[in-house]
Amino acid sequence: MIALSPIDVSKTGMMLLNNGVSLVLIVPLLFYFGEHHKWYRFRHLDTSGWALLIASCVNAVGISWAGINVQGYVTATTFMVLTNVNKFVVIGFGMAVLNESKTWQAYLGCLIALSGGLLYARVKSSPAPVAAKVAPSADKGASETEGLVDKK
């Protein structure tokens, strides 16, 4: 919606639209997998638990807002690479800090994904290659003055 033509929706509206559509699609899965049976745990949260929950919500709003803004500044390919690198940073964080799966396959997958993202970033940031020089034409003098002389 951002890349093709300007739309008459604010960035806040696009953020709400994006998250609203996601919510409609995810709620059936929430009930299908029985997550609603775990809601009773909210009654037992202490002050630090509520603070972490609110901080998580604020962080999610920040991520959504940043995503909408980035889409206006980069190409679609760059945005897809950023999204994929972000996923693997999250996986790497889970492995390093949260003691999630630490098999050699998991490490290799993260390494490959992060390397691809870094290589893409490096290629995008390097200057464009200089075009190969073309051999001068035999009619060089005529082509240089062609625009200067008024032909009638």
pLDDT on residue 137:
53
Predicted TM-score (pTM) of this structure? 0.53
The DSSP string of the chain is -TTTS--S--HHHHHHHHHHHHHHHHHHHHHHTTGGGGGGGGGG--HHHHHHHHHHHHHHHHHHHHHHHHHTTS-HHHHHHHHHHHHHHHHHHHHHHS-----HHHHHHHHHHHHHHHHHHHHHHSPPPPPPPPPPPTTHHHHHHTTTS---
pLDDT in tens, the chain (152 residues): 555 566 677 888 888 888 888 889 999 999 999 998 998 888 889 999 999 999 999 998 888 888 888 887 888 778 877 877 777 788 778 888 888 878 888 788 778 877 877 787 778 777 766 555 555 555 555 444 444 444 44
pLDDT on residue 152:
46
pLDDT on residue 50:
93
pLDDT on residue 29:
93
